[in-house]
Amino acid sequence: MAKPMTKTQLVAALADEMGSDKKTATGALDAVIAIITKEVSAGGAVTLPGVGKIYCRERPERMVRNPATGEQMKKEADKVVKMTIAKALKDSVNG
């Protein structure tokens, strides 16, 4: 498996694709991340065309097991961020 792209590499590729400098690309990437974070934190969803949909889902209270002791304990309800991958991206990866 290949190593994941770092933020520095992503900014460089984005700057090259946009035909601008790295400072502008960093600003654009940071703005997109801030918008996604704000929207998903508020319980909304963000669709990135061709990539997928990022959303927040609530998990109910449940019983879990401590792997070290085997003890059963109650875990409070919480929220988890999920992402559904777009069909276009799946198709481009598979072939």
Q: Does position 10 have pLDDT exceeding 90, yes or no? A: yes
Instruction: List, for residues 57-83, the tens digit of each pLDDT value.
Output: 999 999 999 999 999 999 999 999 999
Q: Are residues 50 and 93 in the same domain?
A: yes
Report the alpha-carbon distance of residue 87 to residue 83 in Å, rounded: 13
Structural domain of 73: 44-95
Q: The pTM is what?
A: 0.78
Q: What are phi and psi of 79, to 5 degrees?
A: -115, 150
Q: Does position 2 have pLDDT exceeding 90, yes or no? A: no
Provide the total of helices (H) and of strands (E) in the chain, helices listed first.
3, 5
How does DSSP classify residue 21?
Answer: -
Q: Does position 42 have pLDDT exceeding 90, yes or no? A: yes
CATH number at residue 66: 4.10.520.10
Q: Are residues 51 and 95 in the same domain?
A: yes
- Judge contact between 21 and 13, C-beta under 8 A: no
